[in-house]
Amino acid sequence: MSLMTVLKLLVAAAILALIAGRVDFDASIDLMRAADPLWLAAAIGASLLMIVADALFWSTSMRRAGLSMPFRSAILFGVVGWFFVNIAPSTVGADIFRAAQLKASGVPAARAIRLVAAARFMSFAALIVFMAAGAPIALGVLDTAHDRIALAAVLAIALAVFAGVLFAKRILHLAPARLRRGPLDFAAALSGEARSLLRAMPPGGWFLLFLQHLLRLATVLALALSLGLAFDPFVLFGLAPAAFLAAMIPVSFGGWGVREASFVYFLGAAGIAAPAALALSILFGLTRILIGAAGGLIWIFARREHFEVAVDSGQDDVRTTS
């Protein structure tokens, strides 16, 4: 196990321990024990549909990048990716897995990494739009100026990161040539890849990205109903994206701890009791682990040719397998 993995586990454990010391953890456990299994099944179903939407997006975006990924392969990428991001020791494990498969299919390693990062950037952009759309609702339910500032800060940081990636190539080209090497050169190339994918993405691709986020919210909504929580569904639409954005920060194992703290803070600010918000976040993480475990089994037993990607050489389509 790498040092980075150990550090992420320690960060997750420390945050969860801090939350457990301030929230009635026993009450959260009681809520989860009494959860309605039908709504839990609905949450798992929404998560599976999210994988389908993600597979369709990947098929679309990779075509725009000169690759051909069969829908079957894209589904396998999605399901197995959940194993790497939720169970295997890495927060960005799904991206590493996808980049490795693209490289094994003949895509140069640097471009494979850039393509995967650019696709993640597109999802990030859609989540920012999603959060901005729900911001008026969120600001309307938050009671204090402190809470409103915290929400605005999350959105502002996300927008700054988005702009930084989008314009990095132009900014870095202003630097002296001797400085534009190694990581800076890669960052400039990644920025160019992201801009190209952003310009080439058809409306259907954006629809699939927004659908993924809607299904993620549907998962949270189904889990909240399984816990018997009484709340306005629009509250989740306004505040849950902020928690999802915070959980994307790769500082803990699988987003654990960061996601729970975000749920407790933002949903608590909207009047949802801390034990209920914590139970909701833990159940959300457990559904991902359950599907991730299935993805791990598929990864073990699936044949290598099932992860095929066609690489457009510019003349002939050369099909190789990972």
Mean pLDDT for the chain overall:
80
pLDDT tens per residue, range 14-67: 888 888 888 888 999 999 999 999 999 999 999 999 999 988 888 887 777 777
| Whole-number pLDDT of residue 83 | 84
> In this model, does residue 252 exceed pLDDT 50?
yes
- Distance between CA 148 and CA 92 in Å, rounded? 30
| Whole-number pLDDT of residue 179 | 55
The residue range of the domain holding 174 is 3-320
- Distance between CA 11 and CA 98 in Å, rounded? 26
> In this model, does residue 280 exceed pLDDT 70?
yes
Query: Which stretches of the chain are assigned E, i.e. beta strand?
Result: 67-68, 309-312, 317-320
Average pLDDT over residues 130-136: 86
pLDDT tens per residue, range 71-87: 777 888 788 888 877 77
Strand partners of residue 309: 320
Top-ranked range on mean pLDDT: pick from 37-46, 49-58, 230-239, 250-259:
37-46
> In this model, does residue 171 exceed pLDDT 50?
yes
Structural contact between residues 135 and 155, judged by C-beta atoms closer than 8 angstroms:
yes
> In this model, does residue 203 exceed pLDDT 70?
yes
Average pLDDT over residues 5-15: 79
| Whole-number pLDDT of residue 318 | 32
Q: Which amino acid is at 202?
A: P
| Whole-number pLDDT of residue 268 | 81
Q: Taking the CA atoms of 26, 91, 102 and 112 in sequence, report the sign of the dihedral they define.
A: positive
> In this model, does residue 276 exceed pLDDT 60?
yes
Higher pLDDT, 228 or 140: 228
> In this model, does residue 180 exceed pLDDT 90?
no
Q: Please state the domain count of the chain.
A: 1
Q: What percent of the chain has pLDDT over 90?
A: 20
Binned at pLDDT 50, 70 and 90, residue 316 comes out as: very low
- Distance between CA 98 and CA 115 in Å, rounded? 10
Higher pLDDT, 143 or 283: 283
| Whole-number pLDDT of residue 313 | 41
Instruction: Enter the pTM of the model.
Output: 0.82
- Distance between CA 90 and CA 80 in Å, rounded? 13
Task: Find tokens 């939720």 and name the residue.
Answer: 86
| Whole-number pLDDT of residue 88 | 66
Question: For the chain, what is the radius of gyration of the CA atoms?
Answer: 20
- Distance between CA 114 and CA 123 in Å, rounded? 14
Task: Find tokens 């998962």 and name the residue.
Answer: 219
Structural contact between residues 236 and 217, judged by C-beta atoms closer than 8 angstroms:
yes
Token digits for 99? 């980049």
| Whole-number pLDDT of residue 306 | 56
Q: How far is CA 164 from CA 161, 194, 209, in A?
A: 5, 11, 21
| Whole-number pLDDT of residue 90 | 52
User: Nearest to residue 55, comparing CAs of 83, 36, 80, 26?
Assistant: 80
